[in-house]
Structure 1
């Protein structure tokens, strides 16, 4: 896969991200990793009926970055199946990928938990057990808000290559128990990434080293999302979660590792003052 300036521009438009010099947004490497893993996911011994791919959504994601993406990079993706397990909401398939450029430099490694949703999920009690918060997060010290555009999913599908029907077609989404089409989890995570880079990295995307999160509720077109974050004990480590306009947590157990080059003062309005 060759990364062109046009491809990067489309991804930035789809996620509302901003360019950092000649570098692509870090989460773009994850979009490439998912596309690179598709041949593995489509294997009959893994997916069974190919129609099941239409029910696949993101449940969890972990990413570590080693080098930035640049226009002109030729990317290769190696994917491995780590595990499969049954959950109340469907079958989870856990895949690891390594993304490298034409110089064989590691760009990123990922661990993706992809959920093939049951058309008729198991008991409500079991579903709630999967998404119940286990630990109350600390008081947020920074935040950032954005609204999901009506055509956000279409733009992200075109930029990422992920045309799963549950993101684009209301009828397809309803067949798997959703009230309508939903935003891609990786687009929501790209929003959270932007919050971390803007608030903690002085808009320098190369300082973001790792990101992980769980997706616990669907995000719909028109939703207003807020990413709340707080420092953790380890240097450069921050927790975060994303809530919708109703105050419901849609992304939880978020964790970011950033390269520390400054000291931070967290202001009461949710902004961060970065001191060099």
Structure 2
């Protein structure tokens, strides 16, 4: 049964390879591809149009067959008789795996019908319906698809005449317009948003509001504004922008709001991506706490014909989600990303920049990890409140160095949930695989702050007295003014508090703050330079706790002291302080090979 089939194994994970032809990429100058060019453009070369089609189907849009029906229904409107002359033909469109359609041109007119004609003058075969739909939307170049064998015809004259006489660039817009016209009473986007806000009072949970009072302005870009007023344990809503808003919550589009209500969009993830913004983080968090949007999603699903009404909201993270595994695609370690990450952390180690036997920066694994760890913490089954989540700890174990052009695959697993007096600690384990072996093993600790009870006040911690130690080194450096923007670009961590001044201030910060992992990378840089003779391969482990935010322009100092030395590995205590003497990285340790 498996003869001639190709399977792959990455440790315990097995999968099968399937041959699928991508649309591909063509060099503009007609030159021959080199290995390095293929590596740099691999994502474009291997991109498949089917991913978009699958995404559309999963989002509840029309089926592929119905979309194709719309395309052929618009064909007469796309026909340009002035170009046809006396051309007459019956063309059979065979969309592999979906169906057949007939396009008939005669006497300057065009008609279409579903099904295969008996007397076709030309048969045009599409490898899949996705190729046709991609061509219609402009995502696929029809000529390139023909050259790649994804479109074929048995009558080149009629194929060329069809391309000449039908304006396919207009097809997508016309299909959408026709669908809207035939939809009749389907509510407009504005009406759908209006219904969401009409439901808000029924989703309000006054027992969670306490004495909270606020006027919220919801700005739905491109659609309109709504006001939500909370006072005295009651909620009212109205259309329009309020005059005295305490908080403005901006959605990038109505699709984000409607997707959040139906459960198709994760609101917390949308906020992290900048699709939702607010100028008062306190009110945004209170809104998330006091309005049961999960019930709104369940009610929307029930009205659509599926599912039961949601149960009461669950408090805290769900231990049943532990053990869930999230896999990212295998991807090359590109030289440009290695160099960019090194520059983003002000690390000019020759090992990262020399052309001969170059290494990737030791903390570059955080880049491929970003997607899988995002999938883990935003998993609906986990039920983590991202608005109360902070990255508190990072423990990275380096089993081997990675190099440019290594093919690596990231994995993540929900590892542990620990209850604390003031919240919960979530640990996510990540592994970076290369050729079936783990090259980097990482444990990220995320603290989810518990919700304060009415009148509860946080006890101020007494400042820690400095401890005098016999330091192995003491080294200072500065965070550049644009450090967060540069690090976001090459780490792929574009959390708005690191890149958007307004969002950062709304969260209670004086401005954008530096990534904790950037501070960790710079701390690791100092350890390698001072304790490992500049050799990144000697750093075997770096474990830190992020104890205070770091701002652009801060002057930091890293220092370390020897704790013990066993079996060729020296263990150092590590700390990084700011210009005020406050610890920004504490309870840290580093393991460095002695040779």
> In the alignment, what sits opposite 2:379?
43
> In the alignment, what sits opposite 1:247?
581
CA distance 1:179–1:72, change in 2 (3 Å)? same
Q: Any conservation in 1 of the 2:394–2:543 contact (CA below 8 Å)? A: yes
Deviation at 1:38, TM superposition (A): 1.8
2:429 is aligned with 1:96: yes
CA distance 1:147–1:135, change in 2 (3 Å)? closer
Q: 1:16 aligns with which of 342, 346, 349?
A: 346
> In the alignment, what sits opposite 1:113?
445
Distance 2:346 2:476 in 1: 12
Q: Any conservation in 1 of the 2:341–2:491 contact (CA below 8 Å)? A: yes
2:537 is aligned with 1:206: yes
SS at match of 1:124: coil
Deviations 1:40-78 (A, max 9, x none): 2221122456xx3x6644211111111111111122112
Deviation at 1:88, TM superposition (A): 7.1
Q: Rg larger in 1 or in 2?
A: 2
SS at match of 1:33: helix
Q: 1:146 aligns with which of 477, 496, 499?
A: 477
Distance 2:482 2:461 in 1: 30
Distance 1:177 1:85 in 2: 27
CA distance 1:117–1:48, change in 2 (3 Å)? closer
Deviation at 1:186, TM superposition (A): 0.6
> In the alignment, what sits opposite 1:75?
408
Q: 2:527 aligns with which of 185, 193, 196?
A: 196
Distance 1:163 1:120 in 2: 28
2:551 is aligned with 1:215: no
Normalized per residue, which structure has more strand?
A: 1
More off after superposition, 111-120 vs 238-247? 111-120
Distance 2:583 2:499 in 1: 23
Distance 2:423 2:497 in 1: 15
SS at match of 1:23: coil
Distance 1:250 1:84 in 2: 24
More off after superposition, 214-223 vs 171-180? 171-180
Gaps spanning 5+ residues in structure 2: where? 1-330, 352-356
Which structure exhibits the higher relative contact order, with contacts defined as CA atoms closer than 8 Å and separated by 6 or more residues? 1
SS at match of 2:444: strand
More off after superposition, 69-78 vs 207-216? 69-78
What's the TM-score, normalizing by structure 1? 0.83
Gaps spanning 5+ residues in structure 1: where? 262-276
Q: Any conservation in 1 of the 2:377–2:384 contact (CA below 8 Å)? A: no
Deviation at 1:35, TM superposition (A): 3.0
> In the alignment, what sits opposite 1:268?
none
Q: 1:2 aligns with which of 310, 332, 335?
A: 332
Deviation at 1:32, TM superposition (A): 2.6
Considering only aligned residues, what root-mean-square deviation do their CA atoms show, in Å? 2.6
Which consecutive aligned stretches of 4+ in structure 1 deviate over 4 angstroms post-superposition?
A: 85-91, 116-122, 132-135
